[in-house]
Amino acid sequence: MTAYRRSLSAASSAACLVSLLVSFPSAHGQDKPAAPAATAQSASDTVSDPKYLAAMTEGKKLARERQYTFAIDEYKKANKIAGGKDRKSLLEVYDLQIKTGQYKDAVATASLLEQAARNPVEKSLAESDRGRAIFSEVGDKNKADKLEAADAAFKAAIADYPKNVNAHFYDGEVLARLNRMDAASAEFKSCLSCISPNDPSYIRAQHFAEHPEISTKKMAPPFTVTALDGTKFNLDAMGGRVVLIDFWATWCGPCNEELPHLKKIAKEFAGEPLVMISVSDDKDEAKWKDFIAKHEMTWVQYRDANGELGKQFGVQSIPHYFTIDADGVLTAEMMGSGSDVEGRLKKLIVKAKALETRPVAVASGTE
């Protein structure tokens, strides 16, 4: 997407894998619309109290060290010093509460952000945050009252700022969970009207607009990377193909043992609706390139030097595989050697071929 303050990690909804929360950037991700010039500066930008600055600095340090509880305490301390309506520190608190699954507390923090808002855009972002926290609290359960509350929060956000992309997208997911498929499709279409077709998230929103029921499933985090051969790999642009993602490294013994198996898969499924992408966290680019050339790894190769893609998928050990079906649904996560990757792929490819004849039509549902 193109404009909110921070980017939200990435799977498709509050029900997604581990902390991969949603498919779109958060209401404080890189998609933040520009605030009116007269109010663009945050109130905290003018706070010069040494105690405030020290608390913010300590909060950042503790967050980097993953001491999240203490980091939240420091940010709350900074907010208190700033007068209780400091958006900068409150946003940090909210983000950490979402990160650590403290959703009820995040709802309360979002409400404080609403009170601290100085214009409709800031209020819209805070309302969207509140809706996201409520939706996250629902998780895999179908709690109608919570879903209705999330829907109300997103609709309030849209009323205050109609181009709040994330509010449209999230509300589409909520409405789909409520089985209001026509309304969900309409929200995904509204989301599409607010972003560029070149945006990496456009394809997923378009897919959900056509088939809103898919948005209720566990989606893989959307991503776009430049492969070794210079081509762009967009997960959501795979056009109905199955995707196998292999996280590995040249220095990993078990990964090297798996290589013949991967080469066998690449050969066996050539011509089938399957895309393979190997994601390496090698730091030495030359060594990585030499290894790939030497071992004739002919499928898509990407070097995740900073580990960001691995973080999105929650990868902590390798080899680590993910299979994704033709709709982008995350179907399996396998770790270590000896995983039955091949068997799973065969089933997914059969399903992908069956979906090729599926009509592009919006599913109907109760309103």
Predicted confidence (pLDDT) at residue 25 exceeds the cutoff of 80: no
The confidence band for 111, taking pLDDT boundaries of 50, 70 and 90, is very high
pLDDT digits 0-9 by tens, 166-190: 999 999 999 999 999 999 999 999 9
Please state, in angstroms and rounded to a whole number, the distance separating the CA atoms of residues 154 and 140. Answer: 19
Kindly give the pairing relationship between strand 224-226 and strand 232-234: antiparallel
Structure tokens at 175: 């409405």
The 3-state secondary structure of 44-105, one letter per residue:
HHHCCCHHHHHHHHHHHHHHHCCCHHHHHHHHHHHHHHCCCCCHHHHHHHHHHHHHCCCHHH
Report residue 314 as tokens.
């929650």
pLDDT tens sequence across 59-71: 999 999 999 999 9
- pLDDT the model gives residue 46: 57
- Return the closest-CA partner of residue 324 out of 204, 206, 231, 185: 204
Q: Is the pTM of this model over 0.75?
A: no
> What is the band of 349 on the pLDDT scale with cuts at 50, 70, 90?
very high
Pairing of strands 242-248, 320-324: antiparallel
Nearest to 80 by CA among 42, 51, 41, 48: 51
Higher-pLDDT residue of 201 and 232 is 232
**Mean pLDDT computed over 274-284:** 94
Q: Residue 12's pLDDT is what?
A: 32
Residue 22's pLDDT is 35
Residue 271: left if φ>0, alpha if ψ -120 to 50, beta else—which one? left
Residue 39 pLDDT class (50, 70, 90 cuts): very low
Closest to 94 (Cα-Cα) out of 41, 44, 26: 26
Quick one: pLDDT band at residue 341, thresholds 50, 70, 90? confident
Number of alpha carbons in the 13 Å side-chain half-sphere of residue 148? 4
Q: What pLDDT does 246 receive?
A: 94
Region 212-241: mean pLDDT is 87
| Angle in degrees, 0-180, between the axes of helices 120-138 and 144-160, rounded to the nearest 10 | 160
293 vs 43: which has the higher pLDDT: 293
Domains in the chain: ranges and CATH: 37-216 (1.25.40.10), 224-355 (3.40.30.10)
Indicate whether 86 pLDDT > 90.
yes
pLDDT band at 367 (very low <50, low <70, confident <90, very high): very low
Take residue 126 and report the two structure tokens written for it: 């805070």
**Which pair of structure tokens corresponds to residue 1?**
């997407």
What confidence score (pLDDT) does residue 18 get?
22
Average pLDDT over residues 101-109: 96
Q: How confident is the model at residue 35 (pLDDT cuts 50, 70, 90)?
A: very low
Residue 136: C-alpha distances to residues 72, 209, 254, 359 (Å): 19, 21, 36, 32
Q: Positive or negative CA dihedral for 96, 98, 101, 104?
A: positive
Q: What does the pLDDT read at residue 140?
A: 82
* pLDDT value at 363 more than 80: no
pLDDT tens digits, residue range 189-219?
A: 999 999 888 776 788 899 899 999 989 988 8
Per the prediction, the chain carries an average pLDDT of 83
Per-residue pLDDT, 338: 65
